[in-house]
């Protein structure tokens, strides 16, 4: 495989709504037990600065607020869960203090296509061993524990724009934000 690691910060320092479709088809890499697990990103959701569903807007303090205010390319791991060895996670978008990120909702193991997690962010985090203590606030442009690669996979606009999942019953999210088409999924 002829893939190049994405080390250029400018790839990530764009608005979340722009970064989200750029992430489709890229490969998230995680070394575990003398091997590198590689998942092609197939589904993502943008959480924008003006978005009532964005953690940095919903909460006053905490990991989400702190991490989403960091520079684009930072990994935001949602929580530590002692029941599982993985968590849901976002990639921070934009410049520092903009407070945006992209939730990684789905991916497919490029070495074992039977490992395909569509609309299952926590299970994808488990498959990639996304650990809060080790990876929260990791810099994807320089970390040796997790990084993003581009192997030239062409999306060519072949993705769906959909409503985000799990927001309908939330009372603190505006109706406009609930209906925004900020979920991006590769077409099969």
pLDDT value for 58: 61
pTM above 0.85, yes or no: yes
Identify the bridge partners of residue 45 per DSSP, sorted by sequence position: 103, 183
Distances (CA, A) of 119 to 124, 141, 144, 185: 9, 26, 27, 9
Count other C-beta atoms under 10 Å from residue 34's C-beta: 5
Residues with Cβ within 8 Å of 96's Cβ and at least 6 positions away in sequence, in order, are 69, 70, 71
pLDDT value for 84: 62
User: Could you report the per-residue pLDDT of 94-142, keeping only the tens digit for each?
Assistant: 999 999 999 999 999 999 888 888 888 888 999 999 988 899 999 999 9
**pLDDT tens-digit profile, the chain (188 residues):** 689 999 999 999 999 999 999 999 999 999 999 999 999 999 999 999 888 787 666 656 667 777 888 899 999 998 766 666 668 899 999 999 999 999 999 999 999 888 888 888 888 999 999 988 899 999 999 999 999 999 999 999 899 999 999 888 888 888 898 999 999 999 87
Fold of 4-186: 3-methyladenine DNA Glycosylase; Chain A (3.10.300)
- Cα–Cα distance for residue pair 39/159, rounded to 1 Å: 17
Count other C-beta atoms under 10 Å from residue 33's C-beta: 6
Domain boundaries defined on the chain: 4-186
pLDDT value for 45: 96
């Amino acid at each position: 495989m002829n893939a190049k690691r994405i080390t250029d910060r400018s790839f990530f320092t764009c608005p979340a709504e722009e970064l989200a479709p750029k992430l489709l088809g890229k490969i998230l890499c995680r070394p575990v037990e003398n091997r590198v697990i590689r998942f092609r990103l197939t589904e993502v959701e943008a959480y924008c600065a003006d978005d009532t569903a964005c953690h940095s807007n919903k909460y006053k303090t905490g990991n989400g607020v702190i991490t989403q205010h960091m520079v684009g390319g930072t990994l935001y791991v949602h929580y530590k869960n002692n029941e599982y060895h993985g968590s849901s996670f976002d990639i921070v978008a934009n410049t520092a203090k903009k407070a945006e990120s992209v939730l990684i909702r789905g991916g497919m193991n490029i070495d074992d296509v039977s490992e395909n997690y569509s609309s299952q962010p926590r299970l994808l985090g488990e498959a990639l061993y996304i650990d809060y203590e080790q990876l929260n606030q990791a810099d994807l442009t320089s970390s040796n524990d997790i990084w993003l690669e581009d192997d030239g996979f062409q999306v060519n606009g072949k993705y769906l724009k959909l409503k985000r999942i799990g927001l309908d019953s939330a009372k603190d999210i505006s109706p406009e934000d609930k209906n925004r088409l900020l979920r991006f999924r590769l077409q099969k």
